[in-house]
């Protein structure tokens, strides 16, 4: 199974949200990273055939998804950024409703609903109305509905928003288990979510793909370009204006900065191994520094 994106473009008025994007996505977990306004959600909506591109196409094994209709939706699972729900539904009824819309029989729907509610840790709350759920609980119900039809293509937009650390770990474990023969696209700001489970990373900035590779290769592009430097608080503030600062950690009276410096280290800096967050900063960070 291969999802091919060819010269995909989408504009909203004068703003180009997705700008001539070309990608080839194969089964595994693909992390879609980018700052706010990079075009991630627009890209996801294009992949879900929710909006039509101004040019280009999304092809599934050579077939344009725009002309596949029901056949594409049948293998698609989607969790939007804002989980939609009817407040008067209970969690169980909500999943049964979505399962029916996805074409599952009543028996299949009942079995999947029970299984998924247990997986997301909400089985004991299944009779509670969704209107009374917290944000994190709604997010978990949203994840469950995306998995109802056992999708081959699973697209998750900010899936861990509102989840506490324990829930995030549980979510990562669940997704990692699913990705064997599925294409999972995980759009997020939280780099650590992607770093732990993704097989590939796509970084978007201003509607364009600035990086697409495995996490290891992307990290390696920054070898020798990431350092730490211990400075005073006043100097730290200056470095913040002029450099890409990945982290600031108080060390006694001073501050240890973690800097991403593609053009050379400042004096006294100590090189360190880069991580994905450094890469994110380098590819998607400010253009006016370093």
Partner 1 sequence: MNEKEVIAFLKETKQTPSPDAVDRCINSLPDIQKPNRLLPLVRLQLRSMPASVYIWALTAVAFQIFLAVSLSPMDALMATGISSAIVALLFGWHLMLSRAGSMIEIEKCCKYSYGQIMLARILCLSSLTLAALLAAVIPSAGFSHMGITFMLAATLPTLIGALMALLWANHIGNSDFAQLTMYLVATLITSLMLEWIVEAGILLICAIQLITLTALVLQTKNLTNRRIDYEAYHY
Report the residue from 98, 202, 276, 281 that binds partner 1 according to the rule CB under 8 A: 98
Q: Nearest approach, Cβ of 146 to partner 1 (angstroms)?
A: 8
- Residue 87 or 224: the one with the smaller Cβ distance to partner 1 is 87
Positive or negative, the CA dihedral 162, 34, 82, 101 is: negative
Q: Nearest approach, Cβ of 70 to partner 1 (angstroms)?
A: 5
Task: Report CA 251 to chain centroid distance, whole Å.
Answer: 33
**Burial of residue 123 (number of CB atoms within 10 Å: 0-12, 13-18, 19+):** middle
Q: Nearest approach, Cβ of 107 to partner 1 (angstroms)?
A: 13
- Residue 73 or 172: the one with the smaller Cβ distance to partner 1 is 73
Q: Nearest approach, Cβ of 87 to partner 1 (angstroms)?
A: 6
**Burial of residue 132 (number of CB atoms within 10 Å: 0-12, 13-18, 19+):** exposed
Could you say whether residue 100 binds partner 1 (CB under 8 A)? yes
Maximal CA-CA distance, the chain: 68
- Residue 4 or 145: the one with the smaller Cβ distance to partner 1 is 145
Report the residue from 11, 16, 57, 97 that binds partner 1 according to the rule CB under 8 A: 97
Q: Nearest approach, Cβ of 105 to partner 1 (angstroms)?
A: 9
Report the residue from 35, 56, 57, 89 that binds partner 1 according to the rule CB under 8 A: 89
**Burial of residue 180 (number of CB atoms within 10 Å: 0-12, 13-18, 19+):** exposed
Could you say whether residue 103 binds partner 1 (CB under 8 A)? yes
Of residues 44-83, which lie at the interface with partner 1 (CB under 8 A)? 45, 48-52, 66-71, 73-74, 76-78, 80, 82-83
- Residue 100 or 190: the one with the smaller Cβ distance to partner 1 is 100
Q: Nearest approach, Cβ of 236 to partner 1 (angstroms)?
A: 41
Of residues 125-184, which lie at the interface with partner 1 (CB under 8 A)? 145, 149
Could you say whether residue 110 binds partner 1 (CB under 8 A)? no
Of residues 189-248, which lie at the interface with partner 1 (CB under 8 A)? none
Of the candidates 195, 211, 275, 222, the residue with the CA atom closest to the CA atom of residue 34: 211
Strands (E), the chain: 3-12, 15-25, 28-33, 55-60, 63-64, 76-79, 153-157, 183-188, 200-205, 208-213, 226-231, 244-251, 254-260, 270-271
Cβ–Cβ contacts within 10 Å for residue 246, how many?
21
Could you say whether residue 112 binds partner 1 (CB under 8 A)? no
Report the residue from 86, 121, 132, 249 that binds partner 1 according to the rule CB under 8 A: 86
# of chain residues touching partner 1 (CB under 8 A): 35
Q: Regarding beta strands 76-79 and 226-231, do their DSSP bridges make them parallel or antiparallel, or are they unpaired?
A: unpaired
Buried b (16+ CB within 10 A) or exposed e, 59-74: bbeeeebeebeeebbe
**Site residues (vs partner 1, CB under 8 A):** 12, 45, 48-52, 66-71, 73-74, 76-78, 80, 82-89, 97-98, 100-103, 145, 149
């Amino acid at each position: 199974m291969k999802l091919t994106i060819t010269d995909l473009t989408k504009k909203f008025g004068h703003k180009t949200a997705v700008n001539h994007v070309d990608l080839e996505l194969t089964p595994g977990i693909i992390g879609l990273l980018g700052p706010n306004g990079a075009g991630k959600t627009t890209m996801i909506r294009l992949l879900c055939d929710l909006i039509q591109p101004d040019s280009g196409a999304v092809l599934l094994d050579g077939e344009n998804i725009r002309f596949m209709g029901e056949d594409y939706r049948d293998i698609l699972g989607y969790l939007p950024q804002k989980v939609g729900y009817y407040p008067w539904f209970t969690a169980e009824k909500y999943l049964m409703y979505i399962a029916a819309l996805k074409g599952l029989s009543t028996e299949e729907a009942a079995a999947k609903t029970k299984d998924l509610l247990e997986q997301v840790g909400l089985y004991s709350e299944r009779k509670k109305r969704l209107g009374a759920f917290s944000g994190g609980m709604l997010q978990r119900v949203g994840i469950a509905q995306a998995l109802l039809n056992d999708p081959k293509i699973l697209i998750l937009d900010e899936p861990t928003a509102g989840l506490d650390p324990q829930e995030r770990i549980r979510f990562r474990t669940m997704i990692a288990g699913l990705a064997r023969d599925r294409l999972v696209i995980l759009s997020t700001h939280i780099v650590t979510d992607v770093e732990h489970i993704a097989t590939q990373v796509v970084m978007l900035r201003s509607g364009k793909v600035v990086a697409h590779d495995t996490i290891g290769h992307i990290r390696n592009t920054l070898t020798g370009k990431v350092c730490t430097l211990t400075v005073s608080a006043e100097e730290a503030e200056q470095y913040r204006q002029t450099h890409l600062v990945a982290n600031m950690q108080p060390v006694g009276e001073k501050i240890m900065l973690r800097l991403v410096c593609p053009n050379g280290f400042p004096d006294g800096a100590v090189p360190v191994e880069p991580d994905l967050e450094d890469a994110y900063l380098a590819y998607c960070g400010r253009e006016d520094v370093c």
